[in-house]
A = this chain, B = another copy of it.
Amino acid sequence: MKKATLASLAAELKVSRQTISNVINFPDRVRAETRARVEAAIQRSGYRPSAAARALRNQRAMAIGVRLSPPRNGISGSFMDAFLREIVTAADARGYRVVVFPATSRSDEVERLLELRGSLAIDGGVLTDTWTDDDRPERLGEAGVPFVSFGRPWGSADHGAWVDVDGRAGAAAAARFLRDAGHERIGFLGWSDGSPVGADRRAGWADELGLTDDDATALTVEGPDTAEAGASGMARLIDGGATAAVCASDSLALGAETLRRERGLAGPAVVGFDDTAVARSMDLTSVRQPVEEVARTALDLLLERLADPGVTLQGRLVEPVLEVRGQSMSGTRSRASV
């Protein structure tokens, strides 16, 4: 298949390349008759101006950069893979390509975004996994690289270019669900890595149950984000008199639920987070983050910023949904909005 180029089209039509370029970019500058002839030939030939040529002309790459999120355990990690999937889908629907790149650290991620933007390979970037004192927004802002983040600023300067899920409300709904199921002592299985997301979820659980600080401390077990830690944590909670647990992730919930079944304790007694395939497989209630809505909102914010670098943006908090399972013998599933 011979590809039509500006040169081959110009030769075929016996017009200058500038004329063809004008038909595409400034049709008013070309006589109606010539324009019609060129447009028909373009249509027929399948000629498309190259992305590189358009990028140079418009100084727009029509592409966004997303760091490949660091590998983590495949259960909780599947949520970030789902987010990437939705970002790619949302960007495509808006005519943007997605360039995915690796990075060894948050600082390296910023360097890579500056480089990609500097070489006109992307117009802006999507950050994930915001953290306390995260300096990526500030560095990108100073360098004039448009960005949006999935995750709040958590105490860093708020550029308004973020969307996040209300994990506190999700954990509160999880605690409410277990209390309504008859549990009186409900523990929390969380992460020991100082994650602000984990702290937010824990706060939702403690608030909902009206726990004092001492109570909350006694009813919390934190560790790595693994099923093993979930199982040993659940054992400690049970030894301490708890009968149920809100978990910061489905990885922890998988371990906790496996232990519950081994001990023959009545369910439902475990609620997970992220509504992964594991939760569905184990018939576990889990807090679902509406990942499609999050991705769409993130793209909208980024495109607003791209269209107008000076625009004032406001961060958006999205409500999670408690996916209730294991409630009836018939296996029917129901949803409860948080």
Contact = CB atoms under 8 A, between A and B. Distances in A.
Contacts of A280: 73
Interface residues of A, number: 56
A102 B91 CA distance: 10
Nearest to A4: B118
Tell me the number of copies of this protein. 2
Given A56-B56, A97-B101, A99-B99, A254 B281 contact: yes
A98 B97 contact: no
B119 A51 contact: yes
A48 interface: yes
Interface string A61-74: 10100001001011
A78 interface: yes
A49 B46 CA distance: 30
Given A85-B68, A85-B71, A121-B51, A281 B226 contact: yes
Interface string A82-125: 10110011001000011111100000000000011011110000
Contact of A74 (B46, B78, B143): B78
A81 interface: yes
Contact of A61 (B52, B71, B251, B277): B52
6 contacts: A1-B143, A48-B118, A50-B118, A74-B276, A84-B100, A227-B282
A101 B88 contact: yes
Contacts of A294: none
A53 interface: yes
A326 interface: no
A55 interface: yes
A14 interface: no
Given A1-B143, A52-B56, A52-B61, A100 B100 contact: yes
B102 A99 contact: no
Nearest to A61: B52
Contact of A78 (B50, B77, B102, B251): B77
A142 interface: yes
A144 interface: yes
Nearest to A58: B52
A242 interface: no
Contact of A120 (B50, B98, B118, B281): B50
Given A52-B119, A68-B89, A278-B278, 4 more contacts: A74-B277, A75-B278, A78-B81, A251-B277
